[in-house]
Amino acid sequence: METLVNEKQITTAKKTMSGAEAVICSLLAEGVETIFGYPGGAIMPIYDALYDYMDQVNHILVRHEQGAMHAAQGFARVRKEVGVVFATSGPGATNLITGIADAHTDSTPIVCITGQVPSSLLGTDAFQETDVIGISMPVTKWNHQITDAREIPEIIAKAFYIAKSGRPGPVVIDITKDAQFASMEFEYQKCSKIRTYHPVPKIKEEQLQQAASLINKSERPFLLVGQGILISEAQDILRSFIEKANIPAAWTILGLSALENSHPLNVGMLGMHGNYAPNLLTNECDVLIAVGMRFDDRVTGDLTKYARQAKVIHIDIDPSEIDKNVKADVPLIGDAKQVLEALLPLVSKKRHGPWLKRFKDLHKIEVEKVITPALYPQTPGILMGEVIRHISEATKGEAIIVTDVGQHQMVTSRYYNFKHPHSNVTSGGLGTMGFALPAAMGAKVGMPERPVVAIIGDGGFQMTLQELGTIFQYEIPVKIVILNNGFLGMVRQWQQMFFERRYSFTEMKNPDFIAIAGGFSIQGQKVSDRKHLVAAVKEMLGHPAAYLLEVVVEKEENVFPMIPSGAAVDDIRME
């Protein structure tokens, strides 16, 4: 059996085995060590085969298939590997869809293997039959249904190659039950090329020269950092690039941690709840360089008023993103690292003193009006920003921070002092509430040597709190912080600002979160008084096992700055 998991021998060794065992051996050949999943009837043969490989594969039994997807996302994002998920047919497969869509939007490489009813029953509305291929097609990079066991090694090899190459994304492989039972001659060869698929476009020299010319002539250049920097591991070349040309750089929420917060050219976060200076000055720069980002509407606001004065250089590996939202004067299609490496020797050293001072002056205004009151509040109740400040200081910026979706997500992005790349795990494009708890679980499994802190709102926590059972069973020492304001906070803020305080179904009557955690043998405490906060954070971080800290924060605290929906980026409000 050893030869079947040895990468050098596995390409030539042949052995008769079931399709189910071929799935496991194919995953081992790809170096898979961890699987997140939930068994059921249609995938039972694969789980039976897995029983003989439990010493080689760490399978995490989640409490819901959506939790498996988010856990695999957290794992993939911090490990920079392909996450793997198992689920059965019907509701098992459909429960994956939210997570698959999330991974697709946020370019996370996941291979999902779902069981399916026997091929003779396809199309008959058999028990737990669902067209998972049709359902998942819009939110996958590729999907395929296997009805012949002999296809299994080749399709799995293709799945891993497609998921992780170019712009990463999720892949679904649906395997009928009869294909899992059938015998086949197993032989595995990793995939390194597909004839019709070209994941890394060739960079055009002419466009490099055009981009360099614009940058060298620019007096007010501005660079936008997207997740493409992290995916291509371009952090170092990005730093060299902006330092040589002295270009201020701001980041999207998924580009966060690509450039350390303390870097003097890091001017903050873009978008609806981003920093004042980068949003305002987007409409004053003369050259806008976007790297590995897609000009999401939360970044651009009103497109008719977005950076109309600027020449736009758009660097992205996905050609479909070019000119989709913002017209590029110079499109540079290619891997972010490769493009910046080619561009670096072409750009000139610059100073841009007055332009950089403009950012600093505007930042001082934000510090006075927003940041200082948020981090060092004079309010009777605890504010979200001060909680994040204490966690940041206590962890020295070294933790992996996993956030759910809402006000706490924006506050954490703004105020946690990230020091290392791949340290920010969040749901960006889809904005999936319930993401953080299972994603933090997966991140901790992926990087057990680093502290992992999940920061969650009281609403999002209740969407996937069943994964406390997984944390309990596998003794995963994640730290969980619930910022409890008794509201669906982000929606409530919009209702306050734009719907005359008509709080329609956003106030929540919450359960005893500490008691719930206790039911899973997870220790915790609830803090509602500022004087206990520092000690509580210290106790949480020092606890050797999982720990839940509930912090009661001001019920009607708002997150500022804010760009109202549909407004221009320079319509940013400080209050």
Q: What pLDDT, in 10s, does the model give residues 236-255? A: 999 999 999 999 999 999 99
User: Do 523 and 399 reside in the same domain of the chain?
Assistant: yes
Cis peptide before 39 (omega within 30 of 0): no
At residue 115, φ and ψ (nearest 5 deg) are -80, 155
User: Do 276 and 347 reside in the same domain of the chain?
Assistant: yes
Residue 9 pLDDT > 90: no
Q: Residues 429, 169: contact at Cβ < 8 Å?
A: no
**Is 364 domain-assigned?**
no
174-184 per-residue burial string, b: 16 or more CB within 10 A, e: under 16: bbbbbbbebeb
Q: Residues 75, 81: contact at Cβ < 8 Å?
A: yes
433 assigned to active site: no
| pLDDT score of 565 | 87
217 assigned to active site: no
490, 493, 557, 562: which one is catalytic? 490
CATH code of residue 505: 3.40.50.970
pLDDT in tens, 51-74: 999 999 999 999 999 999 999 999
User: Do 470 and 346 reside in the same domain of the chain?
Assistant: no
311 assigned to active site: no
Q: Which of 386, 381, 215, 379 is nearest to 286 (CA)?
A: 215
**Is 366 domain-assigned?**
no
User: Do 15 and 131 reside in the same domain of the chain?
Assistant: yes
| pLDDT score of 362 | 98
For 515, the token pair is: 């008691």
36 assigned to active site: no
At residue 188, φ and ψ (nearest 5 deg) are -125, 135
202 assigned to active site: no
158, 177, 311, 444: which one is catalytic? 177
User: Do 451 and 529 reside in the same domain of the chain?
Assistant: yes
pLDDT in tens, 438-460: 999 999 999 999 999 999 999 99
Q: Could you tell me how many residues make up the chain?
A: 575
Residue 284 pLDDT > 90: yes
Residue 514 buriedness (CB in 10 A; 0-12 / 13-18 / 19+): middle
Beta-carbon neighbour count of residue 13 at 10 Å? Answer: 15
Q: SS3 for 330?
A: strand
Chain centre to alpha carbon of residue 488? 22
For 274, the token pair is: 């981003």
User: Do 129 and 216 reside in the same domain of the chain?
Assistant: no
Instruction: Please give the Cα distance from 37 to 67 (Å, whole number).
Output: 9
User: Do 229 and 136 reside in the same domain of the chain?
Assistant: no
Residue 265, amino acid: L
What is the pTM (predicted TM-score) of this model? 0.95
pLDDT in tens, 495-541: 999 999 999 999 999 999 999 999 999 999 999 999 999 999 999 99
21, 30, 65, 386: which one is catalytic? 65
Q: Which residues contact 122 (CB under 8 A, 6 or more apart)?
A: 116, 129, 147, 176
pLDDT confidence tier of residue 13, bands split at 50, 70 and 90: low
Range of the domain at 291: 205-359
56, 128, 466, 523: which one is catalytic? 128
Instruction: Please give the Cα distance from 385 to 377 (Å, whole number).
Output: 9
Residue 14 pLDDT > 90: no
User: Do 217 and 181 reside in the same domain of the chain?
Assistant: no
Instruction: Please give the Cα distance from 221 to 95 (Å, whole number).
Output: 45
User: Do 277 and 413 reside in the same domain of the chain?
Assistant: no
Mean pLDDT of the chain: 96
127, 360, 499, 538: which one is catalytic? 127
Q: Which of 502, 483, 486 is nearest to 494 (CA)?
A: 502
